[in-house]
Amino acid sequence: MKTREIKRVWVNLELLFSSQRDILFGISGYAKRNAFWNIVIANGERDQDPSSLPKSERPDGIITTQPLAPALADSKIPLVVVGARDAWLGRRTCNLAFVRNDDRKIGLAAAKKFLSSRLFASFGFVGSYVRNYCSILREEGFRAGLGANRDIRSYPQNELVDGSPADIAALGRWLESLPKPAAVMAVHDLRATHVISAANDRGIAIPQELSIIGVDNDELLCEFANPPLTSIAPDHIHEGELAAEVLHSLLNGKTVSKSSSTHKACRFEIVERDTTSSATPSENLAKEAMAFIRQNFKSGIRAEDVIRSVPGRSRRLVDARFREMYGCSLHEAILRIRYAELKRRLVRSKAPIGELMESCGFSDLSNAKRLFKSRFGMSMREWRNRQGASSNLPKST
């Protein structure tokens, strides 16, 4: 029986971002089911010319979300680019394909969400100072969805580093200039948190005066923003699966013409949080309970403690209103926030796992470990090794 050849595949991602980790899970899942690949996380090797490596170390194929060495433009190594585009890739004549979310539809979805919720006097779009391909398409879709007869403004392009004090100050001045109430779409969640910070610094009330939507639904960024951020959640796992499927075809000798080289992943949903809600008294009750959870989850609180924090209300009423707004029980919300913080600390800290669990409010450590593996498909130690190995974050508790 002929042994199937194992292909060496470079995967080049920015694994600090949850969207990029989901893409990696999609790639890995597809490979396990359909391909014989040795996947190498090529983080930090994006400037490496593969042709300069010994033959045993050269990749048979590459999946990347980041700019790579221009020498690849003249290479025949099958290459799948997820999301990004580089001018030099135009020199490629073969073995090149693009996979991306349908960014124009994402912009359209943000516009539709704003138009369905309330009347706004103005709308805004905030990109990054590096105006990339997805930002252009998301803004195009956003503007198209709103129509030509509305007051739509873009945060001006400049050389300020995103999130720097100068940028936050400039963002604040721009937000103040928008007629209120205003609705702003940011190109991604991290940029949306800059908008929130700028609005808070200027005393602009969210969402009463300013509604905000981000993209990617990075739970750590969205849940810990003040207030929590509404976000459009593309199916990045599916995007990774699609990228792996396309590379698999290229590795099997399928040729792709330039006219059919772009493959779109179209699945997404809107996860609503406080930056777009127009709260009723019932919703305010649920928000009050969620605020208590966020402030006290590290201290070992239980659902009963949350109920007591809302005096004069029955458990049945608080739990019902909470489920209506957040789609889960009080107990489940506490667990989700604890596990989100625990995952962050597992990557950022070298402290013993038991110590980190206790610092996040877990008391029954064995049960918490079992639930972690059930929810995330791996143990806490495996999560730390897999995520921490590719992280350049400083180690701190």
Q: Give per-residue pLDDT as tens, 361-395.
A: 999 999 999 999 998 889 999 888 887 644 443 33
Total structural domains within the chain: 3
β-partners of residue 98 are 81, 262
Do 384 and 290 lie in one domain? The reply is: yes
pLDDT at 257: 54
* CA diameter of the chain: 74
pLDDT at 316 over 60: yes
* Mean pLDDT of the region 341-356: 90
Do 107 and 213 lie in one domain? The reply is: yes
Do 259 and 361 lie in one domain? The reply is: no
Q: How far is CA 131 from the centre of its chain?
A: 18
* pLDDT band at residue 315 under the 50/70/90 scheme: confident
Do 69 and 181 lie in one domain? The reply is: no
Domain containing 325: what range?
281-388
In this structure, what CATH number is given to the domain that contains residue 228? Answer: 3.40.50.2300
Do 210 and 146 lie in one domain? The reply is: yes
Structural domain includes residue 272: no
pLDDT at 202 over 90: yes
pLDDT at 141 over 90: yes
Q: DSSP per residue over 235-281, as a string?
A: -HHHHHHHHHHHHHHHHTT----GGG-EEEE--EEEE--TTT----H
Structural domain includes residue 230: yes
For residues 251 and 94, which has the higher predicted lDDT (pLDDT)? 251
Structural domain includes residue 273: no
Structural domain includes residue 379: yes
Q: Give the range among 37-51, 89-103, 176-190 with minimum mean pLDDT.
A: 37-51
Do 259 and 303 lie in one domain? The reply is: no
pLDDT at 89: 66
Do 137 and 259 lie in one domain? The reply is: no
Do 249 and 296 lie in one domain? The reply is: no
Do 113 and 129 lie in one domain? The reply is: yes
Do 311 and 256 lie in one domain? The reply is: no
Structural domain includes residue 250: yes
66-100 pLDDT per residue, tens: 766 677 777 788 999 887 665 556 677 678 888 98
pLDDT at 245: 94
pLDDT at 259 over 50: no
